[in-house]
Structure 1
């Protein structure tokens, strides 16, 4: 199966958000800061803490949310030339192959550790921090997307939805 891949900025940013939010340590940090801010709000309401303590916890919450929702995805998008490039992707029996005028690269399917599907992408992970985003819209219609999903699940061991 061969497709031409181009990326849409809004979709890539959303996919990067999914990536960050899916990480256990980030989920834990967000939950912890949310609980801390909620407790600070309750204590502030009952006048057990000063307005400064509540303000600091709220600012921490806002900065954390902005970091994971805006700044990190934007920074990664700006750094990565891949998202502004166009290339051919071939899903072959033994390899995942990409090619553009600048060069080509292939990976054996065993090099991928897992596949996660989000609304617009298949996230093909090499390890917990390194992955390739394969846009679903490159496949065109829903039948080809379903065929790609089935193929990727069969080739990559720990497929998740």
Structure 2
């Protein structure tokens, strides 16, 4: 993501109401109905992946697989039913991938390149559907926090001496 792209995001957050952003994002995101009726792959077999698995089971999602890149986790059972599979041996075509991990860029690219129907993050679902995917305490109202801070970030950015300094600043929101 470039400085210009990050500036566009900050401008967007400055100029749009959070509810409007959420409704707009829902138009381009996987729906709850698709999660219920089409195959779902959870990428990440740690705490957030397990929490996501529990939520999807409560939603009556029938076709759920969970994958990871850590060979130590392969073939272990989660919730006595779901076996952790290797990312590298998993067919992703015709499945929606939900990233339940913190660093998402590389897994996102790998999932897209492996033919996933859609790729989203657990955090994104928590922002779009907080009543279903209850946000973790440090993600609660994150979009509102970003929106409320956008003008401060923009002002601070303008006060920096050069693009290198701005790039360091803009790397902070991109890290998540």
Larger Rg: 1
TM-score by length of 1: 0.25
Bigger proportion of residues as strand: 1
TM-score by length of 2: 0.24
